[in-house]
Amino acid sequence: MPFPYWRLSAFYFAYFAYVGAFAPYFSLYLASLGLAAAQIGVLLSLGSLTRVVGPNFWGWVADRTQRRARIVSLTLALGGACFAGFFFVHSFWGLFALLIATGFFSSASMPLTESLTLSHLRGAVSSYGSIRLWGSVGFIVTVTLIGYALDALPVASLLWMVLATYALGWACALAVPDAAASGDHAEPGPVWNIVRRPEVAALLGACFLMSLAHGPLYAFYSLYLVGHGYSKAAVGWMWSVGVIAEILVFMLMPALMRRHSLSLILRACFAATALRFLMIGWGVDSVPVLLAAQLLHALSFGAYHAAAVTAIHHWFQGAHQVRGQAIYLSVSFGAGGVCGSALAGLGWDSLGPAWTFSAAAFAALAGYGLLQWKVRTADI
């Protein structure tokens, strides 16, 4: 079968168009309902909570059915149906239930699509970035356009915009073909034998800390900027600057991976993340400082995620590949995201934004320490 570059790219575009509509602005919608910072932090952590269980469940279903693409399209349709409930529900516990439901179904998309993409690529995994960059383009389009739209429209109109991206993602998922699983044999024994290897466990621990460090960014960055006098359009552009930098690094990843080890790339990303959050926390009133911090998104997410996905693909072979990506997402964007959002919500009012971002920088430095300790000499 010919490599479905454009169909995979279109799905990444659509899925991250949804992320660009939801992640930067849903906190503004929740704030418009009169919720406190701690409540917003808890609610925004629920999407990450569902990634602790969801990716492993959907990975198990995919292993049994070998229908990864169809599972993605079905779960997006169900997730969109659940999201429609936000038009009618405004209480904290009602929002809590809806975010659990939408997150559970949405959590299927990335581990299955990442595994599917790498299966289509087969040996050319360094080309992953050229496909994944279209997700960054989708994010930029929606985060920028919605920023302008919300300066002119009520914040509640965000719900229609997010629902539209769900529909686009579902349509694109229907066009993605399945791929045969790798012909490599899985390592003897259960998948947890791989997880217990010191270098694998250290990488997963570092990924947990990386997502924990991003908690204040994903939960409160937009509110932080609006609170310091930035317009919603300016907020959209700040997010876009980071993702433009991310696109550039995705284009450069094949060359970077040929010249440098994944271990070195990952350690550089964690160091840059610590610097980025210190700049955001203490430099919010300076546009040049914020722009420089957003450019570091190229490393704190772009290069980091591409390198981590590739390392997981290297260590989890054969029948373990879907589970490997699911475990990575569960530990990092799942458990790490839950803790990051919840702790950010608690620290925002008690410590203040600057010290909350400083704590995030410390978490990134701790992740760097884990990589230096156990992954520096690994075979990646």
Q: Above 80 in pLDDT, residue 232?
A: yes
Mean pLDDT computed over 315-324? 71
Q: What pTM, to 2 d.p., does this model score?
A: 0.75
Q: What is the mean pLDDT of residues 36-42?
A: 85
Residue labelled with tokens 């621990």? 205
Confidence (pLDDT) at 18: 92
Closest by CA to 247, choosing from 169, 134, 147, is: 134
Distance CA 323, CA 318 (A): 10
Candidates 303, 249, 247, 310; CA nearest to 271 is: 303
- pLDDT: which is higher, 115 or 141: 141
Please report, as a single letter, which amino acid is at residue 182.
Answer: S
Per DSSP, the residues of 194-233 read HHTSHHHHHHHHHHHHHHHHTHHHHHHHHHHHHHTT--HH
Q: Are 179 and 10 in contact (CB under 8 A)?
A: no
The pLDDT of residue 209? 96
Question: Cα-atom radius of gyration of the chain, to the nearest Å?
Answer: 19
CATH number 1.10.287.610 given to 5-375 = no
Is residue 213's pLDDT more than 90?
yes
Query: What is the per-residue pLDDT for 185?
Result: 47
Structural domain spans, the chain: 5-375
Mean model confidence pLDDT for the chain: 86
Q: Are 135 and 16 in contact (CB under 8 A)?
A: yes
- 3-state SS class at 54: helix
